[in-house]
Structure 1
Amino acid sequence: MSRIVDLTSPIDPRDLDFVPESMPDLALVIAPKIDYHTHDAWGLDFMVTSFGCDPDDLPRREGPAGEVLREISTHCGTHVDAPLHSGSLCEGRPARTMSDIGLEELYRPGMVLDVRPWARPGEAIPVEGLREAIKATGRDIEEGDAVLIRTGQERYSLGEPEYLNYPGMSGEGTRFLTGLGATVLGTDAVGWDRPIPAMRKAFQESGDAGHIWDGHYAIQDKEALIVQQLVNLGALPPAGFMVGFFPLKLTGTSAAPARAVAFLRD
């Protein structure tokens, strides 16, 4: 028997109230706007129009409920990034889209790297911290593993400053993990890389373009799938479980919202 742990962030349009006014584009990856169609209004009208019936012909004078999602990104909530998100080429070939990726690639042995001792707000997680976290799991990364980074962001909620000043991954750290064989890379942070203001500051101070979105650009060198906005990583063991990321079956996209689930053996 397996025990299921849900690793998926809830998508709640009420969270849009906490998106900073200075970052309006963030709303698209937090939640869609949702029109709620109720049984006794839209649903009732739909049934009366569709069937030519009287409202009293329907149980409790109700039709179906339904919702319409508006202004939603393929990167909304817990989601999987296809290689296409990181660039048009990956390993010298046209980068794959979500519809190029089979479910078997998204159901993998999982590892949780607890990097909280090395995680600093707005900074890159050092490779040495990744090495030590791997040792703590009791096994090496193997080809095809899903490696989930626990930064400690579960402490914060949208609306708190710390939520958007998260620790992130560098190009060096990303290449380190893919070089060991990881094919799925997950994080409990909003983004895989450091926050944009932190990367922008590093770039402007150094003039080094290597600070720009380097965690994602590293996927161009060695393919991997990136999963962001995970939750409940603290409920998982360091290793010895399977994890599945089940995205919407969208065609030709760079990402898709997904239900992320870990399967633990009793």
Structure 2
Amino acid sequence: MTWFDLSVPLRTGMPVYPGDPEVRIASALTVEADGANVLSLGLGSHSGTHADAPLHVGDGWAALDELPLSLFGGVAEIVDVRDVARGGAITAAHLAGIAPAGSAGNPGEPGNPGSPEKILLLHTGCAAAWGMEEYFKHPWLEAAAAQLIVDRGYRAVGLDALSVDPSYPGAPDGNQHGDPAGGGFPAHAILAGNGCIIVENLTGLEQVQRATDAGSDVELFLFPLNIPGADGAPIRAVARPLPAAALEPAAARALSREEVQEAADRLVAAFAATDTEAYFAAFSPEATFIFHPEAQRLGSRSAYRTLWDSWLAGGWRVLECRSSEQDIQLLGATAVFSHRVATTVQVDGGGARDTSDERETIIFSRTPDGGIACVHEHLSACPQ
């Protein structure tokens, strides 16, 4: 499986938001002197690739540990905004094509974001300037763009830049460590005020861009350190392309030959053992049956179960069951299994036997939970 690392390394002296604590990493213990290597870490809660909690810009808003873990994982919806000039605005027009996030939460209730199906990524291309002065002059979100993100249901937004608001003096809609209430951090205030987490200083988004451009869905993991009451925390952001089947409804996934063969083998074994419970558990409750010795089609599993129970009450038992000439036809989420089956049964509880040579056709179908069930069985006499 391919994994994408979307996190910048934590190093002493690395870039931080102007005014934030510097990152200092040093040796605290060594194997030679102390028997073990241990590092001392000094950093701010927004160092490196990190997540902002709503608390970051609003007292009384949710801290990271008050948010559901499901918020920090989801499928990427990535927007390529690399054509926005450094220091320029990402507008609502740039984001007009984003799909709804599918959030189950209440957009108007900060701190109750629900569980998003998608996480929005803004690919600015600024990661290429990491460690350079120009990294601080990056694209930023206009208030209308931030509101559009909220309106589409997103509760997690990430970008490969220092901030969703401007990070340099004199910027049109922001300033260094401004007051959100006074307009200093308008994008932060809108997103956080609607329960969004904000992930900043991502890197490597071109990997996600290539995968999605090639038609793959990409799953994101953006889990922060578990710090009670935190306004933010560093994260290890990673992603992986998903197989196409992983996002299909379970009932729509195509059956494989192996699945059908295993299901058929279980069914034959349960019949041969006269294992009533295992046998009928293999059939859908709505399954139908046509047996050549019977006068009419049996319209449900329960009708067949009644007939089966009457046979057992009369002393009917399977003595031998041989399957041959098997064939499987795959039809997406449905498959047809057929075989020639020779069966010897005890018919009266005594020594009498009845041997049949029949052609059995069973239709299997994918169930809503992704399993497999028999939905129709047709038993016909083989030509002599």
Q: TM-score range by the shorter chain?
A: 0.7 to 0.9
Instruction: Please report how far the alpha carbon of residue 203 of structure 1 lies from its aligned counterpart in structure 2 after TM superposition.
Output: 6.7
Please point out which of 145, 166, 172 is paired with 1:194.
166
Summarize the Cα distance change of 1:65–1:141 in structure 2 as closer, same or farther, 3 Å threshold. Answer: same
Cα displacement (A) at 1:196: 3.8
Choose from 129, 144, 147 the match for 2:120.
147
Aligned to 1:265: 242
Residues 198/75 of structure 1: CA separation in 2 closer, same or farther (3 Å cut): same
Deviations 1:26-48 (A, max 9, x none): 5x3xx621221463xxx4443xx
Q: Are the counterparts in 2 of residues 122 and 198 from structure 1 also a CA contact under 8 Å?
A: no
TM superposition shift of 1:198 = 3.8
Contact 2:46–2:234 under 8 Å retained in 1 = yes
Q: Distance in 2 between matches of 1:249 and 1:202?
A: 33
Matched, 1:215 2:187: yes
Equivalent residue for 1:87? 58
Pick one of 27, 36, 54 that aligns with 1:36: 27
User: Which residue number corresponds to residue 129 of structure 1?
Assistant: 94
The answer to whether structure 1 residue 99 and structure 2 residue 59 are counterparts is: no
Higher Cα Rg: structure 1 or 2? 2
Identity within the alignment, %:
25
Instruction: Please list the CA deviations of residues 214-263 of structure 1 after superposition, one character each: whole Å capped at 9, or x if unmatched.
Output: 01111354221100000111001336121011111000010111111112
Q: How big is each residue's C-alpha offset from its partner over 1:32-81, in whole Å with a ceiling of 9 and x where there is no partner? A: 21221463xxx4443xxxxxxxxxxxxxxxx21111112x1011111111
Deviations 1:149-205 (A, max 9, x none): 01110221313x321101111222111111101110001001111224143x5579x
CA distance in 2, matches of 1:156, 1:150: 13
Alignment size in residue pairs:
220
Provide the secondary structure at the position in 1 that maps to 2:222: strand
Please state which structure has a larger fraction of its residues in strand. 2
- Cα RMSD of the aligned pairs, angstroms, is 2.4
Determine whether 1:68 maps to 2:37.
no
Contact 1:8-1:229 at 8 Å conserved across structures: yes
Aligned 8 A contact 1:185 1:225 in 2 = yes
- Report the 3-state secondary structure (helix = DSSP H, G, I; strand = E; otherwise coil) of the residue aligned with 2:227: coil
Map of 2:231 onto structure 1: 254
Within 5 Å, which residues of 2 pair with 1:202-241? Answer: 211-236=183-208, 237-238=211-212, 240-241=217-218
The answer to whether structure 1 residue 110 and structure 2 residue 81 are counterparts is no
C-alpha separation in 2, matches of 1:13 and 1:35: 8
The two structures have a TM-score, normalised by structure 1, of 0.75
Segments of 5+ residues of structure 1 without an aligned counterpart are 47-62, 89-93
Look up the SS of the partner of 1:3 in the other structure: coil
SS in 2 for 1:192: coil
Matched AA of 1:33:
R
Shift in Å, 1:105:
1.5
Q: Which string of whole-angstrom CA distances, capped at 9 and with x for unpartnered residues, describes residues 112-142 of structure 1?
A: 110112x12222211111125x3xxxx5543
Tell me the SS of whatever aligns to 1:73. coil
Whole-Å separation in 2 of the counterparts to 1:203 and 1:251: 29
- With normalisation by structure 2, the TM-score equals 0.53
Quick one: which amino acid aligns to residue 124 of structure 1? A
Aligned counterparts of 1:166 and 1:247: Cα–Cα separation in 2: 24
Aligned-partner Cα distance in 2 for 1:95–1:231 = 28
